[in-house]
């Protein structure tokens, strides 16, 4: 039976990150997310929007708890998200053999997308550990992210946030205002990573 490959786990964990970073204020936010999945059959309605908001809040909490060193709380939150989505592994057989996927609440395409994202994040944490879930330390940024390189001590979600914080620290030093706040100091390992692809 085919298990999820490392690539599939990473892809779905990245999608979980996108879900966690999306506010889902409007149905169009969810429709845009589903359109990015390159699956034209995915559609969404008002009930799906409520489900997406619940999943996003739970996935975000799992990231934040892991970032605070609460691995048990992160795991419990992720389990709660999967339970709310009724994420259940399923097996199908096609011409290429057996395939596994995760079914979601009521079998709606949105529920299955969210259930696979939560399952992918759970698989990612199981493979790499909760310390590979991060939250941006830049002021005014609420984003969470996956730490894709083991040795990297990443503190910012993107090059943009890292550069903004480095520039602010530089301006403070030039103005003679002393050392930057703790979250703005950096060591060579804190240099921003290139944006994730895939």
Q: Is residue 98 part of a domain?
A: yes
Element (H, E) at 170: helix 159-174
pTM: 0.78
| 51 phi/psi in degrees, rounded to 5 | -65, -40
Domain count, the chain: 2
100 and 175 part of one domain: no
Sign of CA dihedral 13, 73, 126, 68: positive
Asked if 59 and 117 touch (Cβ cutoff 8 Å), the reply is: yes
Q: 94-146 pLDDT, tens per residue?
A: 888 887 778 777 778 888 889 999 999 999 998 888 888 988 989 889 999 99
> Does residue 78 sit within a domain?
yes
Domain interval for residue 175: 153-190
- Condensed to tens digits (0 to 9), the pLDDT of residues 35-91 reads 877 565 667 888 899 999 999 999 999 999 998 889 999 999 999 999 999 888 888
CA dist 29 → 23, 89, 99, 114, 120 (Å): 8, 27, 30, 14, 21
Q: Is residue 21 part of a domain?
A: yes
């Amino acid at each position: 039976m085919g298990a999820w490959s490392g690539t599939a786990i990473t892809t779905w964990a990245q999608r979980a990150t996108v879900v966690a970073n999306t506010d889902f204020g409007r149905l169009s936010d969810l429709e845009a997310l589903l359109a990015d999945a390159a699956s034209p059959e995915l559609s969404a309605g008002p009930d799906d929007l409520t489900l997406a908001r619940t999943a996003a809040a739970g996935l975000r909490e799992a990231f934040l708890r892991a970032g605070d060193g609460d691995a048990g709380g992160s795991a419990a939150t992720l389990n709660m998200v999967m339970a709310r989505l009724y994420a259940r592994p399923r097996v199908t057989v096609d011409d290429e053999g057996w395939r596994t996927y995760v079914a979601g609440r009521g079998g709606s395409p949105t529920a299955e997308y969210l259930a696979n994202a939560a399952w992918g994040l759970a698989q990612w944490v199981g493979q790499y550990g909760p310390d590979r879930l991060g939250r941006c330390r830049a002021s005014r940024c609420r984003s969470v992210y996956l730490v894709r390189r083991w040795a990297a001590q990443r503190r910012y979600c993107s090059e943009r946030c890292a550069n903004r914080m480095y520039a602010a620290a530089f301006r403070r030093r030039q103005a003679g205002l002393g050392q930057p706040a703790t979250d703005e100091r950096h060591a060579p390992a804190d240099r921003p990573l290139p944006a994730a692809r895939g």
